[in-house]
Structure 1
Amino acid sequence: MSVEGRSAGVAGSGVVITGASSGIGKACALYLDSRGWRVFAGVRKAADGEALAKAASPRLSPLILDVTDAKTVSDAATQVEKALGDVALIGIVNNAGIGTGGPVEFLDPSELRRQMDVNLVGPLTVIQAFMPMIRRGRGRIVNVSSVGGKVATPFVGPYSASKFALEALSDSLRAELKPWGIEVSLVEPGAVKTAMFEKARSTVDDVLGVLPAEGARYYGNEIEAMRGLIASQERVAVSAEAVARVVEHALIARRPRTRYLVGRDAKLMAFFHWLLPDRAFDRLLATTMRRLSRRASMGKAEPLD
């Protein structure tokens, strides 16, 4: 990917990253810091910010920012504006997010509300708070979505619903901001080498633990089979820094893409979803999950190809 365009003017420019205490957000914060950016790394806990600062240059500033708390978002925007002074804020990276799962039939509506609050309303709150600075600096907005925002799969309905919604919001925002030359990009990773795999395995246990007897009878075997899919994804996962490099491209390229699929698994899934009719894709997915479950039960795992 070429990064011609704004790259010469990046040094010292400001970028805000939410959810920077771990995973993709942390990788983005450290990578962009190493590339000369003035990084404001959003975290919810002071201890996480201190740990991040120790691993970075003095350019990186931890920022207490909970995307579900409008006051902390507003306070963070004020803090960034004061810190930057006349320096431009040329990027927001909305990365903070959570993932919940389980069969839709037995989904607690409060879990769906929480999922939407973090993954959809949270980015909206951040965008609105920092938009005056983005306008002044003609900055960019990068929303971290997922291949799950293009392809919905069983038992992750709440997560996919939030990412589908984030993609729609981003599409509308991109069109609305076009007259001012403000770019909006979506980054859509597949599996990434972070703590997501331990969380995913824990989520399987949690879902099985709270399902009523009827739900376990209907869906227990299929949810248990998710362990095979998780093991397969772990094998093909890309590094978090690979996602960070894509984020930088979206921030500095002369003509950034509107969407960036990251990872071979994400590209394959999106391709087959585009190629096949819905029911044919459903059959392919079900067959793949059964195959992976069988192999996982034999102590093996294989990639989705």
Structure 2
Amino acid sequence: MVTMTQAQRKAVLITGAAGGIGTATARQLDNLGFQIFAGVRKFSDGERLQREISAQITPVELDITDEASIIQAVETISEAVGEKGLYGLVNNAGMIVEGPIELVPIKEVRKQFDVNVIGHIAVTQVFLPLLRKAQGHIVNISAPTGQVAFPYLGVLSASKAALEFMTDALRSELRPFKISVSIVEPGAMRTEIFKKSAVSAQQFRQGLPGELLKLYAPALDAVAKASANQYMDSPDVVGTSIAHALISRHPKTRYLAGRGTGMISLLRLLPDRMRDGLLLRALGVATN
């Protein structure tokens, strides 16, 4: 591990810093002595991070789906870091859209990609000049669903798969500039994003027409039960992987964080229909 002295004064921006993974990462990087810019949608969330973690954290209001917000954030951080540039960018902001692909409203599909893919590209583009100055590090937060498509999480899986391929391309493109690019794939975590996802799924279900609800109700019941019973890791394990990606001289290209993530990745090696059956059985969904 890098020492406090080695990490000291190096500037890192964390998007979605108010969430569980963002907060855990901010805490770990603060302990290592990094200069942290916490991207938050509400300034009150930044003040909470200052109270709970460190007064030295600098909150930056940042909505990654809003161009004006992104431009304002890069101007603020550029003025603060000057010629030393930005050592790390952690693209952590994200959301989860649940539901059968047939039934997910198109506006929610667009929102999923806007947050999980396009927003990360937009942020990365404007911060690259600062990252180039520091020969910095980019860490994108994905999920095992980016490697294996999960039924009833098809829209999320598609967005994370897009993020995975974008990360792979970016890693090659930035190699000549000595900017490292890594991706972290967390499993299920004890964070608000999963609670919000469950609430949204319930609201989504209540809005379904009776006929469609009848078609999908057994599967949705099974998925809800499986989700409620799944093991949840502490977001600290993700923060540890992110810290390693930032401080290691030879960071991994991919990090699996949390229980069961390695097994999920192995599923993609199986024949398609065999994998389909295993996933449906794991969710308790009848296949006959």
Pair 1:279 & 2:273 matched = yes
Mapping for residues 155-170 of structure 1, pairs under 5 Å: 155-170=152-167
Q: Give CA deviations for 1:229-282 in whole Å, capped at 9, x if unaligned.
A: 21232xx222111100100101111111111111122111112332x2111111
Q: Give CA deviations for 1:193-230 in whole Å, capped at 9, x if unaligned.
A: 11234223213312211222232122111011112221
Pair 1:82 & 2:79 matched = yes
For the Cα contact (< 8 Å) 2:13–2:90, is it kept in 1? yes
Of 123, 126, 134 in structure 1, the residue corresponding to residue 131 of structure 2 is 134
Q: Hey, what does 1:96 align to over in structure 2?
A: 93
Unaligned runs of 5+ in 1: 293-305
Distance 2:96 2:254 in 1: 21
Of 21, 25, 28 in structure 2, the residue corresponding to residue 24 of structure 1 is 21
Mapping for residues 177-216 of structure 1, pairs under 5 Å: 177-216=174-213
Mapping for residues 283-298 of structure 1, pairs under 5 Å: 283-290=277-284
For the Cα contact (< 8 Å) 2:223–2:285, is it kept in 1? no
Distance 2:4 2:273 in 1: 45
Pair 1:238 & 2:233 matched = yes
For the Cα contact (< 8 Å) 2:5–2:33, is it kept in 1? no
Distance 2:4 2:120 in 1: 25
Count of aligned pairs between the two proteins? 286
Pair 1:14 & 2:11 matched = yes
TM-score when normalising by structure 1: 0.89
Pair 1:143 & 2:140 matched = yes
Root-mean-square deviation (CA, aligned residues, Å) is: 1.7
TM-score when normalising by structure 2: 0.94
What's the CA shift for 1:15? 0.1
Q: Hey, what does 2:50 align to over in structure 1?
A: 53
**Matched residue SS, 1:154:** coil
The sequence identity of aligned pairs, in percent, is: 41
Pair 1:268 & 2:246 matched = no
| Structure 1 residue runs of 4 or more that deviate by more than 3 Å after TM superposition | none
Q: Residue 77 of structure 1 aligns to which amino acid in structure 2? A: V
Unaligned runs of 5+ in 2: none
Q: Hey, what does 1:298 align to over in structure 2?
A: none
Q: Residue 204 of structure 1 aligns to which amino acid in structure 2? A: A
Q: Residue 77 of structure 2 aligns to which amino acid in structure 1? A: V
Distance 2:85 2:161 in 1: 31
